[in-house]
Amino acid sequence: MVSKTYEFDYFRFSAIFMSPPTVAEIQACYELCRLHNNIGFWVVWLPTGESIGKLPPGKFTNLCVAWSIAMAYFSHPEISATSALLRAAFYVPLCFGVKSLIMTIDDLLDYDIDALVERTKERPLPRGAISLDRAWLFFGLQVVVGIYLAIKVLSRTALYTSMFVWPLYIIYPTCKRWTNFAPVPLGLMFNVGVFMGWSDISVDGSMNWNVLIPIYLGACLWTWTYETQVHPLLTNSASDDVRPQSVSAPSTSFCRSETLRPDVHKDKYDDVKIGINSPALLCRQYTIPICLGTAVGFWGLLVYGGILNGQGPFFYTGVASAGVVLLKELLRTDIDRPKECKAFFLTTPLIGQIILGGVVADAVINRYIEGQLKA
C-alpha cells in the first residue's frame, strides 16, 4: 500500500493567515455580517432588554437592554435612569456582534446552496469576493473576540445562559437541509437575551422563571411569525407586477393563492429542485392563518408575563398597540407579493419599539407617581 505524503504548503498558509485583507475582502466581511441590514440587531436587542424589568422589588441590579432593562427599571426603584440607559447602550455592540456571528456562519455553511439560488448567488462567497478559507478565518476571529468579551463583561449566570444556545449557531444554518422548522432554533437563539437581561442585573444571578418563560416563548412565536411570513419574499425573485394567469384557489382574507407560479415563486422551485426546506414550502396557502395564530400567541404570552410581573396600564397599552400593528400588517399581506412581504418584515423593529415604549412609559410614570423618579 502506498501512503500519501502531505507537505506543508507555506504559500497557501501565508495567503490565508498572514496576508492583510484587501478592500474587496473587507467589503465582503461587511456583507457577511449583514451590517448593511440591521433588522437582525433589533430582534436580538429588543427581547434582551425586556426581562430586566421583571425583577422583584428590593434587589439592587445592574442593567441590560431594551424590554429587559425597562421592565427591571419598572420593578426596581433603586435603579436610576442613567444606569438603565448605560446598560442598554452596553448591549448594543454585543447584540451587533451576535447578529454578525450568526449571519457569517449561516453564509459559510450555506455557500453551496446560495450559489444555486437566484436571490443569493451574489452574496460574497458565491460570487468569489472572498475565499472560503479567508471567510472561515474571519469567523474564527469573531468567535475568539466574542468569547473573550462574553467572559469579561457578562455575569456568570448570563454567560452560562447564553452558552445554552451556542450550539444552535451551528445547527441553525443546516436546518433548511433537513427540516421546515428553521424559525424554531432561530427564535431560541435570538431571544435568549430575555434570560440574560434578567440574570445580568440580578445581584445573586437568580431569575423569576414564572415570568421569563412566558416572555421567552412569546418572543419565539414572534420570531416564527416574521421569519415564516418573510420566507415567501426570500423565495420569490420576480416582479410584483406580474399576477397569476393560472387557475388558483379561491382567496379569502386569511388564505391567498395556492398556485406556485414560476414567474413569482421561482426560488421555491429552486428550493424543491435542490432539496432544501423552508416554512414557506410547509405552510403554503396557510401561511397567513398559521402566522396569525403565532402572532396571537406572542401577544397573549406578553400580556401574561406582564400580569405576573405586576406591570401597569401603559405596558398593556404598548403591547396592545403593537398587537394591532402586527395583526393589521399580517392580514393585509399577500404572500404572492414580495413587496408586501418585505413591508411586513420591515415592521418588525417598529413592533418591538412600540412594546419598548410602553414598558418605558409604564416604568417612568409609575416612578413619578410613587415619587421615586431620579436620573
pLDDT at 60: 26
Please check whether residue 86 lies inside any domain of the structure: yes
**2 and 312 Cβ atoms separated by less than 8 Å:** no
**230 and 342 Cβ atoms separated by less than 8 Å:** yes
Residue of 28 and 232 predicted with greater confidence: 28
What mean pLDDT, rounded, does the chain reach? 76
The pLDDT confidence band at residue 373, using thresholds 50, 70 and 90, is confident
d(CA 356, CA 56): 19
Pick the closest to residue 319 from 306, 332, 334, 330 (CA basis): 306
Please check whether residue 9 lies inside any domain of the structure: no
Residue of 6 and 103 predicted with greater confidence: 103
Q: Which of 337-341, 354-358, 364-368 has the highest average model confidence (pLDDT)?
A: 354-358
Lowest model confidence (mean pLDDT) among 76-90, 133-147, 347-361:
76-90
Q: Which of 38-42, 200-204, 254-258 has the highest average model confidence (pLDDT)?
A: 200-204
CA atoms within 13 A on the CB side of 229: 34
pLDDT at 108: 94
Question: 274 pLDDT exceeds 80?
Answer: no
Please check whether residue 11 lies inside any domain of the structure: no
pLDDT at 218: 92
The pLDDT confidence band at residue 212, using thresholds 50, 70 and 90, is confident
DSSP state, 222? Answer: H
pLDDT at 59: 29
The pLDDT confidence band at residue 49, using thresholds 50, 70 and 90, is very low
Please check whether residue 158 lies inside any domain of the structure: yes
d(CA 301, CA 216): 9
Q: Note if the pTM is more than 0.85.
A: no
d(CA 194, CA 44): 9
What domain range is 224 assigned to? 20-370
Taking the mean position of all CA atoms in its chain, how far away is CA 109?
18
d(CA 49, CA 88): 7
pLDDT at 50: 45
Our count of domains for the chain comes to: 1
Q: What does the pLDDT average to over 25-41?
A: 78
Please check whether residue 271 lies inside any domain of the structure: yes
Question: 292 pLDDT exceeds 80?
Answer: yes
pLDDT at 24: 92
pLDDT at 321: 95
Percent of the chain's residues with pLDDT above 90 = 25
d(CA 85, CA 90): 9
The pLDDT confidence band at residue 352, using thresholds 50, 70 and 90, is confident
d(CA 303, CA 291): 18
- Counting every residue written for the chain, the total comes to 375
**284 and 258 Cβ atoms separated by less than 8 Å:** yes
- SS3 of 202, please? strand
Please check whether residue 125 lies inside any domain of the structure: yes
What is the per-residue burial (b if ≥16 Cβ within 10 Å, else e) of 182-212?
A: bbbbbbbbbbbbbbbbbbbbbeeeebbeebb
Q: What does the pLDDT average to over 40-53?
A: 47
Q: Residue 346 is part of a domain; what is its CATH number?
A: 1.10.357.140
Please check whether residue 1 lies inside any domain of the structure: no
**72 and 203 Cβ atoms separated by less than 8 Å:** no
The pLDDT confidence band at residue 127, using thresholds 50, 70 and 90, is very high
Please check whether residue 255 lies inside any domain of the structure: yes
